């Protein structure tokens, strides 16, 4: 049954019990991805389950991190042995093929007030009997569908030189990957990748990481519909925060804001070498004199030319450590219903604003608009907490005719798309 989480909303956890037309890896009946009978985004029979706690993370904590499948952990007690894989009397047991209905790689959905906030597949059940008289506990580990790509391997082939977005499409179209065309949201990339041979047995997710490394955009599974999303190299962002956080009572309150001000944010020497190309290095001599050499080297890049490799090296240069808000945490118990609903729908790539006020010093307020790169939810009977991991972004504002501030077309004010 759906679980009313204190101060959070109605959270529903649903698991595919094995019926319908949804693809399930290695399943005798539903393990054939043929785009007609069993499909990756098919309709399955979902059962609602009651749980004690949920935690999940999607995206990245830093823009320089590699993409990885989103992960969820669900903890539930099981007094009726409904989850017990040995219990053939379970309401979830699939008698059609004599298997537990709640088995690994079944689909999983977590919704809040009917809005899906995590979507993926079960990768592991840990069932703990803990003695004859105690209620068994089950821990369910799940992952979003990037996990499917991490278990797919590409046959040898040589792609054409093409945009990063086209290369992603090429990989997803391969029969061994078979990602449905209707489950993609791919924006045109900014870089061209070379026609370098792909070795036999290359891991599909690892190759997608190389595409992402060359483009430096975003690649993730969208929670609401399960689509794979590809966004091009991050540049200017039109000011339009999904949520505005503040600590002065004027907007959405937060519990904690994190500040990153360390040498780890400095890159003053970046070398990028494409496959078969000459290493291209960008440096910031002033930064090196002040902070010593903080270097990053990328080899085997899929970029098609040395010029593009140098452009990427320049793009990655970050010569000075600057304080920035690297994350913000909010507790749903402190939010209004409207604020809860807005926070719950923030996704990777959205922009949020964070304001911090002070009683001494100068300035007395600091406000930053930030891009969301990672999302972490902690949900239990005490309530729901959400942490957004953020990155700085170059904010521009929509041009407004005759406005004294926004009525000048320049690097800060632009015509809306």
Question: Tokens at residue 62, please?
Answer: 């830093």
Count of beta carbons in the 10 Å neighbourhood of residue 298: 20
Q: Identify the H or E element spanning 318.
A: none
Between 31 and 217, the more confident residue is 217
Mean per-residue pLDDT over the chain, rounded: 86
Model pTM score: 0.85
Kindly report, residue by residue over 88-132, the tens digit of the pLDDT: 888 888 777 777 767 788 889 999 988 999 999 999 988 888 766
CA distance linking residue 179 with residue 170, whole number of Å: 10
Kindly report, residue by residue over 154-202, the tens digit of the pLDDT: 999 999 999 999 999 999 999 889 899 999 999 999 999 999 999 999 9
Assigned CATH topology for domain 150-234: Phage tail protein beta-alpha-beta fold (3.55.50)
DSSP string, 334-395: GS-HHHHHHHHT--TT-EEEEEEE-SSSS-SEEEEEEEEEEEEEEEETTEEEEEEEEEE-EE
Assigned CATH topology for domain 237-260+323-414: Elongation Factor Tu (Ef-tu); domain 3 (2.40.30)
| CA proximity to 277, closest of 242, 306, 248 | 306
- Phi and psi torsions of 172, nearest 5°: -65, -25
Give percent of the chain with pLDDT exceeding 90: 63
25 has pLDDT over 50: yes
- Listed by start position, the domains of the chain span 3-144, 150-234, 237-260+323-414, 263-316
User: Using CB atoms within 10 A of its CB, is residue 111 exposed (0-12), middle (13-18) or buried (19+)?
Assistant: buried
| Contact present, 216 and 234 (Cβ < 8 Å) | yes
CA distance linking residue 144 with residue 116, whole number of Å: 13
Pick 3-144's CATH classification: 1.10.3470, 2.60.120, 3.30.2000, 2.30.300.
Answer: 2.30.300
| Contact present, 74 and 83 (Cβ < 8 Å) | no
Kindly report, residue by residue over 379-411, the tens digit of the pLDDT: 988 889 999 999 988 754 444 555 554 455 444
| Contact present, 17 and 46 (Cβ < 8 Å) | yes
In sequence order, the β-bridge partners of residue 126 are 139
- Cα Rg for the chain, rounded, in angstroms? 24
């Amino acid at each position: 049954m759906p679980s009313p989480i204190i101060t959070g909303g109605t959270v529903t956890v649903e698991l595919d019990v094995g019926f319908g037309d949804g693809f399930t890896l290695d399943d005798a009946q539903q393990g054939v991805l043929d785009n007609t009978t069993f499909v990756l985004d098919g309709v399955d029979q979902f059962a609602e389950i009651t749980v004690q706690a949920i935690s999940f993370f999607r995206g990245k904590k830093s823009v320089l991190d590699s993409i990885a499948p989103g992960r969820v952990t669900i903890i539930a007690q099981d007094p009726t042995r409904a989850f017990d894989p040995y219990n053939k009397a379970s309401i979830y047991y699939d008698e059609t093929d004599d298997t537990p209905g709640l088995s690994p790689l079944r689909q999983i959905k977590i919704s809040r007030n009917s809005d899906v906030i995590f979507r993926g597949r079960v990768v592991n059940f840990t069932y703990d009997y803990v003695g004859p008289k105690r209620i068994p506990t089950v821990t369910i580990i799940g992952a979003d569908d990037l996990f499917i790509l991490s278990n797919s391997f590409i046959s040898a082939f040589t792609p054409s030189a093409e945009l990063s977005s086209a290369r992603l499409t090429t990989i997803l179209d391969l029969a061994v990957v078979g990602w449905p065309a209707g489950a993609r949201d791919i924006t045109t990339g900014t870089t061209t990748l070379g026609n370098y041979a792909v070795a036999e047995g290359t891991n599909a997710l690892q190759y997608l990481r190389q595409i992402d490394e060359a483009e430096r955009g975003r690649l993730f599974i969208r929670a609401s519909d399960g689509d794979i999303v590809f966004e091009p190299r991050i540049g200017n962002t039109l000011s339009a925060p999904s949520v505005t956080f503040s600590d002065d009572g004027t907007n959405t309150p937060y519990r904690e804001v994190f500040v990153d001000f360390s040498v780890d944010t400095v890159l003053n020497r970046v070398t990028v070498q494409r496959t078969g190309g000459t290493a291209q290095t960008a440096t910031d001599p002033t930064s090196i004199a002040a902070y010593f050499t903080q270097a990053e080297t990328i080899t085997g890049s899929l970029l098609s030319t040395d010029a593009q490799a140098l452009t990427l090296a320049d793009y990655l240069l970050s010569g000075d450590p600057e304080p920035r808000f690297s994350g913000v945490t909010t507790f749903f118990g402190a939010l209004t219903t409207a604020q809860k609903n807005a926070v719950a729908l923030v996704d990777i790539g959205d922009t949020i604003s964070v304001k911090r006020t002070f009683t001494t010093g100068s300035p007395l307020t600091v406000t930053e608009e930030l891009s969301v790169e990672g999302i972490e939810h902690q949900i239990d009977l005490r309530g729901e907490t959400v942490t957004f991991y953020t990155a700085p972004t170059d904010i521009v504002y929509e041009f407004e005719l005759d406005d004294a501030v926004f009525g000048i077309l320049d690097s800060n004010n632009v015509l809306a798309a």
